[in-house]
Amino acid sequence: MPVVGWTDDEGLTWKFEDIAAGYGKFAAPRPVLLAMAATDSGRGYADVTASFIASRLWRQKLLQERHLLYPHWADSYFLWLGIAVHSAAEEAALRDARPGDVITERQMCYQHHAGPWVGGRVDLLIREGAGQSPFALWDYKTTGAYTGKMIVANGIVTERPEWQAQLSIYRWLARQATRSHKANGGGMVNQPLDVGPIKVCCLYRDWKPRDGVPPVQTFTVPYLGDAAVRELIDTAVADWLKLRDVPDDALPPCELDQLWLQGIENPRSPNCGKLLRCEEYCLVPHYCSQYQTALMMRNQKGLKGFTLELAQAAYCEVASWK
Ligand code: SF4
């Protein structure tokens, strides 16, 4: 559930009532806060989720888990908008279908070799054909229209490999007899479901007619294959076991290609040298020694002098702490 409070820089925790009363940065209307508080973001009870595995951003995810117990409600805003759109589409699919032809929000969870619980939650399983694997697996993504244009231009595999990994894990999980959650000793068991095509349905939150793509697009995603999925899960579980007690500074660094270093193609850009993901998307740069090291190097050199080589040096410095 998105938490509608936050801990500010001085360690003060601001709760629902404070924000609704208008204290602190970004007050929010009470009905919106109530709606956010009532929304389940779907992490479920798994220790290691499919989206976690697919993202490869272990440092960011683990720092968030450790330090953002009360993230600012505004940081959950787009997540909440996305979930609201998912829910509307899923409910409409349920109303439209014959009983048994649509399954929404299927929780899938299993215990990996008596260790951590691995799982995920599928938005929609819908009967689209006949034969052995009649169900298609759908995942909704609220995203920018730029993503759609890039997918059309490059093909989905090269453009969003993390989506391919996430959906492939879902498909693999659907074919296991999974438990609904680990509470109550494992809860209900989902019977294996043989899934055929896997699809991502993109809903563009900033769409304009001049984008040249429709506001909603569905793409079929190639399945990675059972062996590749099992390897992804095995590696992620091994990493999770290894990293859960590791101090912040010793967490593996985020990969350079994930930090969106600006100015590689256009060194004259005013943003040249900026690490866009760290500065505009990540919620934990204050806690991240990798970013702080990069920032220190950049301050010495100035923004424009902060080249790919320097970002690489910051990356290596953190990597050597492992
Ligand atoms: S600040 Fe940057 S390097 Fe650090 S966790 Fe966030 S994205 Fe990764």
* Amino acid type, 191: Q
Which residue is listed with tokens 């997918």? 151
pLDDT classification of 208: cutoffs 50, 70, 90: very high
Tokens encoding 144: 């920018």
Q: Are 256 and 198 in contact (CB under 8 A)?
A: no
Residue ID of nearest Cα to ligand 1 atom 2: 278
pLDDT-above-90 percentage for the chain: 24
Q: What pLDDT shows up at residue 1?
A: 45
Q: What pLDDT shows up at residue 305?
A: 67
CATH number of 43-243: 3.90.320
Q: Are 186 and 179 in contact (CB under 8 A)?
A: yes
Is there an atom of ligand 1 within 6 Å of 145 CB?
no
Enter the DSSP assignment of 261.
B
Of 159 and 98, the one with more pLDDT: 98
Is there an atom of ligand 1 within 6 Å of 290 CB?
yes
Predicted TM-score (pTM) of this structure: 0.84
Q: What pLDDT shows up at residue 185?
A: 54
Is there an atom of ligand 1 within 6 Å of 62 CB?
no
Q: Are 121 and 42 in contact (CB under 8 A)?
A: yes
* Amino acid type, 304: K
* Residues 2-48 pLDDT 10s: 556 666 666 666 666 666 666 666 777 888 878 887 776 655 668 88
Q: What pLDDT shows up at residue 42?
A: 55
Tokens encoding 155: 């093909």
Best residue for ligand 1 mutational test, from 68, 279, 288 (most atoms within 8 Å of Cβ): 288
Q: Are 215 and 207 in contact (CB under 8 A)?
A: yes
Helix residue ranges, H only, 47-144? 50-55, 58-67, 77-96
Is there an atom of ligand 1 within 6 Å of 318 CB?
no
DSSP line for 274-285:
-BHIIIII-S-G
283 CB-near residues (< 8 Å, 6+ apart):
64, 68, 71, 75
Is there an atom of ligand 1 within 6 Å of 149 CB?
no
List the chain domain ranges.
43-243, 248-319
* Residues 263-322 pLDDT 10s: 766 667 777 778 889 988 888 898 999 889 888 887 877 766 667 677 777 767 766 544
Q: Give the C-alpha distances (Å, rounded to integers) separating 229 from 27, 243, 258.
A: 43, 21, 21
Of 89 and 15, the one with more pLDDT: 89
